[in-house]
Amino acid sequence: MGANTSLSLQILLNRGAAHLIENFGSDELKATYCERMYSGEWTGTMCLTEAGAGSDLGEIKTSAVKQADGSYLLSGEKIFITSGNHDLTPNIIHAVLARTPGAPAGAKGLSLFVVPKIRVTTDGSLGDPNDVVCAGIEHKLGIHGSPTCSLVFGNSGACQGFLLGQEGQGISLMFQMMNAARYEVGIQGLSIAAAAQQAALAYSRERLQGRSFSNKKADAPQSPIVQHPEVRRSLLLQASYVQAMRALVSYTGWCMDMAHVTKGEEHDRWQGLVELFTPVCKAWCSDWGFRVTEWALQTFGGYGYTMDYPAEQYLRDCKIASIYEGTNGIQALDLVGRKLRMQEGRPVKHLLGLVAEAAQSLASDPILASSAQQLASAAKAMGTVLTELPARENGMMLTVLNAVPMLDMLGHMVAGHLLLQQALVAKAKLAALLQERGVAAEDAAAVRALLTESPEAAFYHNKIQVAIHFAHRGLPLVAAQAVALRAGETAPMDAVL
């Protein structure tokens, strides 16, 4: 995803569309499409958005009318469809949300259909085109390698589609694809940020400007910018957020696996965390991933603003992650409206308990104690906001108004917690390496020599520095936002906009 976001999008959506057919299609549909999609012979799309139905999918107008043979005729226009048309593969398989005649208004009236670009004959070979026409391709800020298409279905009254599941189940079935895609769009934010941060670090080691902090004499040689404290601060902040995002998506992946292999209450506990973390992975990683690309571009100075270096492309490519698959505003509403309340709030209470306990267990750690203190303050601030805000007289409005900062607070708290857990592991690994090499931890010069000579030792050392930096620069944002939220300020609702 970091190396080629556009190409990875194609793969992400193809897998998601094939998975829908695998889980909800008839045996015939599975036999016709799944293997050829999973193998990459054909690709897939997700077709939800229409001009009047973006965040509000209940407004979808595309229609699907059942035919005597059990198939449906579709008619309507979709916009912004990723990989909606291209020449990379001979067929494209669209997963389309549409409305059957007489279906209830809103999202509950939607059904899900498989619509091939080229019809497939009974022997599996490609037949006639299926009346799906690409009416245009968007000119965009980034992901220029990804064709974002307007598609017209059934302009000549001959667009054949096949139902997945039952009529009316469309939106709930589509959530299988959307939840996976939301998680993966979070990984997209992480991946592009990681690529940008790596490019910035490499550049900072080569670019010579100014004199080193410790030798400012005019005749001293120019130093690589990586030696300047301000550049180092930015580079470590970039690394901190990249590792924070990676920790969050990795831990969420672990929760998914645990939910998959457990049953009963234990399953509910892991699944609760998966559902809680899905909008946080999507929104927190895409928002902070974008900021990391901005900081990385700054490391390049004027060269970052040119197309001679990749920094500007990372920034442009990353922005879309906060917009598609449900904007980050919609993710935040999902968090406060559904995820915090599900299972009577048990998942979030469980999480707050875990974090507070972890902070407590590090309270007297010689290296991590002050970071643990920051974590404890963040958890306390988060807990207070979650109980206090909804209980106010205007609690519902305050919660909706502040959904985005609440998601941001939760993302910081969880990521800070996970980075400290990683730092604990890194500390033990580094101590073992020092012992193995016969280096005393108190001998600063010998430790520094080992860090310079051993990439492994430097890796563990940096894991600890990253956790400490995030704890002191990222985690205090939780308490700061709690101050703003608890003040109950409602100017955006009072302003004339």
Ligand X SMILES: Cc1cc2nc3c(=O)[nH]c(=O)nc-3n(C[C@H](O)[C@H](O)[C@H](O)COP(=O)(O)OP(=O)(O)OC[C@H]3O[C@@H](n4cnc5c(N)ncnc54)[C@H](O)[C@@H]3O)c2cc1C
Smallest separation, CB 67 to ligand X (Å)? 25
Q: Which is nearer to ligand X, 47 or 273 (CB)?
A: 47
Smallest separation, CB 60 to ligand X (Å)? 10
Residue least distant from ligand X (Cβ): 54
Q: Which is nearer to ligand X, 19 or 427 (CB)?
A: 19
Can you give the binding site for ligand X, defined by CB under 6 A?
A: 45-49, 54-55, 80-82, 140, 148, 320, 323-324, 326-327, 329-330, 333
Q: Among 230, 294, 325, 393, which one carries the catalytic annotation?
A: 325
Smallest separation, CB 322 to ligand X (Å)? 9
Q: Which is nearer to ligand X, 148 or 299 (CB)?
A: 148
Q: Which is nearer to ligand X, 47 or 362 (CB)?
A: 47
Smallest separation, CB 138 to ligand X (Å)? 7
Q: Which is nearer to ligand X, 329 or 488 (CB)?
A: 329
Q: Which is nearer to ligand X, 37 or 418 (CB)?
A: 37
Smallest separation, CB 93 to ligand X (Å)? 13
Smallest separation, CB 96 to ligand X (Å)? 9
Specify whether the CB–CB gap between 414 and 277 falls below 8 A.
yes
Task: Give the chain as a 3 state SS string.
Answer: CCCCHHHHHHHHHHHHHHHHHHHHCCHHHHHHHHHHHHCCCCEEEEECCECCECCCHHHCCCEEEECCCCCEEEEEEEEEEECCCCCCCCCEEEEEEEECCCCCCCHHHEEEEEEECEEECCCCCEEEECCEEEEEECCCCCCCCCCEEEEEECCCCCCEEEEECCCCCHHHHHHHHHHHHHHHHHHHHHHHHHHHHHHHHHHHHHCECCCCCCCCCCCCCCCEHHHCHHHHHHHHHHHHHHHHHHHHHHHHHHHHHHHHHCCHHHHHHHHHHHHHHHHHHHHHHHHHHHHHHHHHHHHCHHHHHCCCCCHHHHHHHHHHHHCCCCCHHHHHHHHHHHHCCHHHHHHHHHHHHHHHHHHHHCCCCCCCHHHHHHHHHHHHHHHHHHHHHHHCCCHHHHHHHCHHHHHHHHHHHHHHHHHHHHHHHHHHHHHHHHHHCCCCCCCHHHHHHHHHHCHHHHHHHHHHHHHHHHHHHCCHHHHHHHHHHHCCCCHHHHCCC
Q: Which is nearer to ligand X, 37 or 47 (CB)?
A: 47
Q: Is 138 a catalytic residue?
A: no
Smallest separation, CB 106 to ligand X (Å)? 13
Residues that are catalytic? 325
